[in-house]
A and B are shown apart, each in its own frame.
Chain A
Amino acid sequence: MLHQSDIHELKRIANQIRQDIIQELVHAGSGHSAGPLGMADIFTALYFQVLKHKPKKPEWADRDRLVLSNGHICPVQYATLARAGYFLAKELNTLRKLGSRLQGHPHRTSLPGIETTSGPLGSGLSQAIGMALGARMNHKKTRIICLMSDGEHQEGQTWEAIMFANKYHLDNLVAVIDRNNIQIDGFTEDVMPLEPLKKKYNSFGWHVIEIDGHNLQQIIDAFHKARKVTKKPTVIIAHTTPGKGVSFMENNPEWHGKPPTPEQAIIALKELTQEQQILEEEN
């Protein structure tokens, strides 16, 4: 169990990352809002608690690897990398601009801390599998974390990868599914039903953990539990609220693929600042 003050600090960081996301998107004038906000808690837990990494030495050979398969939510990764110390937060405002290291979808050689290139859905888990096999062949204890969306399970390649990871007993691999139930065209269950997701993964030979993707203690515990699983890969199904923290964005598929206007950004930042103040008062 983490100390209550640690959890509190993580919440403050997650809130800061949400504010950064709004700033990034309003400066960019395009991009995705709901997914990044929904994954801020998981990203905070990963970069500030779970992952073995060195922000000042991004190429450190023994680091854990994080693959962002649903690359379109990269504003949350960029904000987290900046807050973790990979680069200065002021660079976040260059997202999607000409000459920026912060490409519209993650590009490996553009920015330190980006382990691989992604964006077209369905290819991240396969890349993570390649890394997991490589780590095993190299006799390294490296952990590979692959973040995925629920919608990208409509891609056939995702299921090719799910089958493969079971065959090769990749217990150094953890997939995390952002189960936020939305995608560009609407609710995932209307576009293409995915349930029963847990049963599907179970029947493909994976160890499944389900959590509330906004409960930092649950998130961290899930990664600890995954470490103890042997001979099979683990998937963490994280139930999240798309647009989390901004009232008018929460649970609304409309916010999957668009940025706030400057006026909407002001309201969103006001809500998030208020939440940050409450967190500080609680401390």
Chain B
Amino acid sequence: MPINSHLKLVKNLDTPTQKPIRDGFGNALVELGPKKDVVVLCADLKESTRCEWFSKQFPKQFIESGVAEQNMASIGAGLALMGKIPFIASYAMFSPGRNWEQIRTTIAYNNVPVKIIGSHAGISVGPDGATHQALEDVAIMRTMPNMTVVVPCDTEEARKAAHALYQYNSPCYLRLAREKTAVITTAQTPFTIGKAEVLWTSKKPVCTIIANGPIVYEALVAARALEKKKIQVMVLNNHTVKPIDTATIVRAAKICGAVVTAEEHQIMGGMGSAVAEVLAQKHPVPIEFIGVHDCFGESGMPRELMQKFKLTHKDITLAVQRVIRRK
């Protein structure tokens, strides 16, 4: 198997356990609770964002803000100015969707360590429809100076990311998905903000698939399908969109000579755009982008939507075949 063994991924990648990414975040909050500077704020979604677990164990450090995301963001800034590490949680569509300016002025420009948690991001939110499917959040957050943007691939990585963000003394955005997704990393898998991990690499890879969020698993499935077709690839888990891991991305592009990016987000402005910004300057290679093509989502079951919007391993496989023809 071309799986990178020192990353200690789960053994069974054929039928991995399925767990919601947001659960990992909820568990991390409970683990962080004994630290007195941790404060959690939620805008009337504590069950869905999994802040409820923290609120029950640490009620004095939990603040219910009501359906008022703009207020919540700036309250977070004020708390941070008094030495707290606030986690503010809602659906990504509302925070940072609705309170972008408050985040920009009072958190990012103010440069205070508020952690913005956008859950239910991506098209896989499903039946709620386009109004609740955040597909632009990475774009609007990564363009903000001082902001760190992290998109974990599974529940275990979300847990580690929340711990890492607590230690990271600056404004951060953590993007979480709603649905149960394949758990591919373990407690032993390394996680460092700003460091992309090579999950899979063959002897003579001809393309690098750079993915983040739940699509990382789809990328691994695609890599195996391609292997059977005698097309060797690398797979990067690029969980940190900003600061982006330029060195790893450029190294991969030099080895492979072609790139496919994959994310549950608009192609414009997302992680793929960030990768293209790096490669256009440092090592231009052909790139294909897997993501949403400048359109809104719609209601449907998560898997149906992933298929309709061409975000599955099959789409990644086809994109790899396309991009290597352009070399």
Chain B residues with Cβ under 8 A from A117's Cβ?
105-106, 109-110
Distance A123 CA – B106 CA, assembled complex (angstroms)? 8
The reply to whether B101 and A130 form a contact with Cβ atoms under 8 Å apart is no
Main secondary structure of the interface of B (DSSP, over half): helix
Distance A249 CA – B39 CA, assembled complex (angstroms)? 46
The reply to whether B71 and A157 form a contact with Cβ atoms under 8 Å apart is yes
Within 8 A of B (CB), among A190-218: none
Distance A42 CA – B79 CA, assembled complex (angstroms)? 26
The reply to whether A161 and B71 form a contact with Cβ atoms under 8 Å apart is yes
Kindly identify which residue among A108, A118, A127 contacts B75, using a CB–CB cutoff of 8 Å. A127
Q: A147 an interface residue at 8 Å Cβ cutoff? A: no
Q: A149 an interface residue at 8 Å Cβ cutoff? A: no
The reply to whether A130 and B75 form a contact with Cβ atoms under 8 Å apart is yes
Stretch at the interface among B62-70, B124-132, B291-299: B62-70
Residues of B in contact with A, size category:
20 to 34
**Residue of A119, A122, A138, A157 with most partner-chain B CB within 10 A:** A157
Min C-beta distance of B256 to chain A, whole Å: 42
Scoring A residues 102 to 122 as 1 if CB is less than 8 Å from chain B, else 0, what string do you get? Answer: 000001110000011111101
CB nearest to B114 among chain A residues: A130
Distance A168 CA – B79 CA, assembled complex (angstroms)? 14
9 contacts across the A-B interface (CB closer than 8 A): A116-B110, A124-B74, A126-B106, A130-B75, A130-B76, A130-B77, A134-B84, A137-B60, A164-B68
Q: Chain A residues in contact with chain B, CB under 8 A?
A: 65, 67, 107-109, 115-120, 122-124, 126-135, 137-138, 156-157, 160-161, 163-164, 168
List of 7 A-B pairs having minimum Cβ-Cβ separation, nearest first: A130-B78, A134-B82, A126-B74, A160-B71, A160-B68, A130-B75, A127-B78
Q: Chain B residues in contact with chain A, CB under 8 A?
A: 39, 60-61, 63, 65-66, 68, 70-84, 86, 101-102, 105-106, 109-111
16 further A-B pairs in the complex, CB-CB below 8 A; given A116-B106, A122-B70: A67-B78, A116-B78, A117-B109, A120-B101, A123-B106, A126-B70, A126-B73, A127-B77, A127-B81, A130-B76, A130-B82, A131-B82, A133-B79, A134-B78, A134-B81, A160-B66
